[in-house]
Amino acid sequence: MTALEKINSAPSRLGGTALYDWDYLVQEDRAHRLIYTDPAIFEAEMTQIFGGTWTYLAHESEIPNENDFITRRMGLRPLIIVRDGEGKIRALYNRCTHRGTTLCRWEKGNTKSFQCPYHGWNFLNTGKLRGVPWPDGYAEDMRDPKYNLAQVPRVESYRGFIFGTLNIDALTLAGHLGPIAKVIDEWLDRNPGGKVVVCEANRFRFKGNWKLAYDNSCDGYHVAYSHRSLLETENRFAGENAKGMAYYRNSPDTQPMYMRYTGHGNHFKDKRPNLEKRPGGLWALESAHPGMEHYEAEFLRRYGDRAFSLLDLAGSEPVNINVFPNFSLLGNHIQVFEPLGVGETNAIWYGTMLVNDGSLPADAVTDINALRMRTQEGFPNFGEVDDIANFEQIQRGLMAVEDEWVYMHRGFGIPGRVKQQPDGTITAPATDEAFMREHFKEWKRLMKGPPNLAIAREP
Ligand code: FES
Ligand SMILES: [Fe+2]
C-alpha cells in the first residue's frame, strides 16, 4: 500500500485520538485555539483541505501564451502552472522525480522544457521525462511513467480563475462554486468584455495561521475599529461626502449591505447596496489619490456625459467574495492566502487591469488602468496592515494555553436575524459572524475526510 493509499483509506489521519475530536474542536458558536496553533492539525489541513477541495492556483492571464509558466503552491506543494504547447493548462509538481529537488526556481517565464539544476534530468512542459544525462548508466527503461512529473489530476478554470484539486471525488469546479459563481460573474461583467488581466502583486507575509485571514475575509464587525485610521484618512478632506468604507462608521447593521453564505465554505459581503445607483456613484466614494482631480477634469473634457461611467471602472468594487479556502475578490483585487506553516502565511494581493474589447476609447483604457493602480494602492496598503497586525496578535494571544475558546457567535440565537433563504443561501447583517460559523462546518466536513486523493502522470 502506498502512503497515498494509506491517507485515503484511514478514517481520518488524526481521527482516533480524543485530542482531535473535530466536533469538540469546532462547535456551533466557538472554535478551539488548537485549530490555529497545533502543527499536526496544520499538517492534516495541507492534505484534507489543500488537496481535498478546490484551491485557487492562478489566473489565466498570467500564462497567456503557449509554453508560459508561473510557479505557485497548493498548500505546501510547490507547483508549476503551465500552458503547454497545445494550450492545455497543467499544474505540475515542481519536484524532480529523481531526488526530489524543486525543478524550476523561476517565478515565471516561457519554456518548452525544464532542466533540473541538480543532475540535469530534463522534462517537457507536459511533465514527461524527456531525457537524462548518460542514460547508459541506468539498467531500466527510463521511459517508465513513474519518472514523469506528478501533476494535479483535476485543474479547471472558471472564467479565467484556475483552481486545482487532488480529490477525484470532489464536485466539478462549477458545482463547488455554486451560487458564488453568479457574484463572480457580476464582478467580472462590469469590466469591458467581462475580463480582467492580472498585473503585479502586493505581497504580505504574517506570523499567524492562514484561517485567521479567511475568518476575517467577510468580517464587517472589525472595520470601524481596526481600520479607524484608514477611515479617518479617507475622509479627512471629504467634507459632507462620505468616502471609502465610511458606511461602517456608525451602526453598520442599519446600512443596506449584508453578508451571504452560499455553501461549500464560500461567502460574500455585498456593500453595493450602499452606493448611489448612478454613473459616478462608485467613483464618488473613492478617497483622494494623487492625480484624481486631473483625471476627472480630463475625462469630462474628453468624454462628456460618458466620463463618470468610465471613471467608475477605476473605482474599487465594494464586494468581498470569498471562495474557501484561499481565494478572495475584493475591490479590484484578487487576494490569495498561502499557508507556509501553522503560524505563518502569505497574503498576496494581485492587482487587475482592464482590457479593451473595442467598446471603450483606447486612450481611456490606458488612463483608467493608470488610475486603477492608484486606487488599488489604497486598500491593501492602508487596510491590510491593520488586518495583519490583528492576525499576528491573535496568534500571540492564542499561545495562552488554558484559555481555550475563540467565539464566533455574533448574531447567533437572535430570532429572525440570520435568514435561511429559499435558494439555500444564508444571509445576515454585515457585522454577523454567521459566515464564519458556516465556513467552519465545511472545514470540519473536510477534516473528517477522508478525501479520495490522487496524482496524475503522463503515460
Ligand atoms: S534531483 Fe533532479 S536530476 Fe537529480
Ligand atoms: Fe480588515
User: In this structure, which residue's CA is closest to atom 1 in ligand 1?
Assistant: 99
Distance CA 258, CA 418 (A): 11
pLDDT at 389: 97
Cell of 270: 455585498
- Alpha carbon 272 to chain centroid, angstroms: 21
For 282, the enclosing helix (H) or strand (E) is none
* Residue 182 to residue 188: CA distance in whole angstroms: 10
Q: Which atom of ligand 1 is nearest to the CA of 119?
A: 3
Band (291; pLDDT cuts 50, 70, 90):
confident
C-alpha 380/C-alpha 334 separation (Å) is 11
- Round to whole Å and give the CA distance between 427 and 432: 9
Q: What is the pLDDT of residues 381-400, one digit of tens each?
A: 789 999 999 999 999 999 99
Nearest ligand to residue 147 Cα = 1
pLDDT confidence of residue 15: 47
35 neighbors 436 (Cβ within 8 angstroms): no
Sequence letter at residue 119:
H
Average pLDDT over every residue of 8-21 = 57
Decide if 97 contacts 73 (C-beta within 8 A).
no
Dihedral sign (CA 85, 86, 91, 97)? negative
Ligand 1 centre and the CA of 72: distance in Å? Answer: 20
| Three cell numbers, residue 134 | 548518460
Contact 280, 338 (CB under 8 A): no
Ligand 1 near 142 CB (within 6 A): no
Which residue has a Cα nearest atom 3 of ligand 1? 119
Distance 98 CA to ligand 1 centre (A): 5
User: Is the CB of residue 96 below 6 angstroms from any atom belonging to ligand 1?
Assistant: yes
Indicate if ligand 1 lies below 6 Å from the C-beta of 116. yes
Instruction: Indicate if the pLDDT at residue 310 is higher than 80.
Output: yes
Q: Give pLDDT, residue 267.
A: 98
Q: Which three cell numbers stand for residue 343?
A: 503560524
Q: Is the per-residue pLDDT at 8 higher than 80?
A: no
Asked whether 101 lines ligand 1 (CB < 6 A), one says yes
The pLDDT mean for the chain works out to 93
CA distance 184 to 270: 12
Cell of 96: 524532480
pLDDT in tens, 352-382: 999 999 999 989 999 999 999 888 887 777 8
Cα(343)–Cα(42) distance, rounded to whole angstroms? 9
* Rounded alpha-carbon distances, angstroms, from residue 269 to 109, 220, 256, 290, 335: 36, 8, 11, 28, 15
What's CA 191's distance to the chain center, in Å? 20
Compute, in angstroms, the gap from residue 115 CA to the centroid of ligand 1.
9
In angstroms, the CA 226 to CA 287 distance is 18
Measured CA to CA, the distance from residue 166 to residue 55 in angstroms comes to 9
Strands (E), 189-310: 197-206, 258-263, 266-270
Residue 118: nearest ligand to its CA? 1
**Cα–chain-centroid distance for residue 39?**
22
